[in-house]
Amino acid sequence: MQLHGLIHQFPKELKLLILVFISVLSIGFYGGISFVNNTTSMNAKGVETHYLGNEDDEDAEIMKFKKNEREILTLVHGHILSLSVIFFLLSLILTTTSINKKLKYFLMVEPFLSIVFTFGGIYLMWSGITWFKYVIMISGTFMTLSFLIATLSIVYQILVSNKN
């Protein structure tokens, strides 16, 4: 079965459904990124402080405490499950586009690696391997860029590209 380029043959109703899904999904995803920015300031020290606390810093404006094991396991578990479903659904839609196949395969696989590195990294950093804060930041950036490129590619394929 040939899926490459199939999106161009979808009925208008299915294309509309995909556009609405991508829009709402993006609101949720970027809302989450906004939360990460708010809690970590998008820097390595902020990531470390958010999970490991800052009780030793007497000059801290906001006191943060190290997350307990239950909080970390809940966060890691919930994010790995939910983001896996999100990227699986996004990848299913992406398979039907006519974008470059190598780019498509990268956008379909990379987010799953980033999920493991980001949330596994959070657990490992919490466990005491603090240099994993850099792995978390790099993999989180890759995950976000993959989401952005995949969603823009899908929207472009539906709204602009008219390949047959």
Question: At CA 27, angle to CA 139 and CA 15, rounded to 5?
Answer: 105
pLDDT digits (tens, 9 = 90+) for 128-157: 999 999 999 999 999 999 999 999 999 999
- Residue 58 has a pLDDT of 82
Average pLDDT over residues 30-54: 95
CB-count burial class (<10 Å; 0-12, 13-18, 19+) for 20: exposed
Extents of the domains making up the chain: 6-159
* Nearest residue to 29 via CA among 112, 87, 105, 91: 87
- For residue 2, report the phi and psi dihedrals to the nearest 5 degrees: -90, 115
* 117 SS3 class: helix
pLDDT surpasses 90 at 60: no
Q: What is the Cβ-side half-sphere exposure of residue 62, based on CA atoms within 13 angstroms?
A: 8
Is pLDDT of 163 > 70? Answer: no
Query: In the numeric block, which tokens belong to residue 18?
Result: 């995909």
Average pLDDT rounded to a whole number, residues 82-88: 98
Residue 34, pLDDT > 60, answer: yes
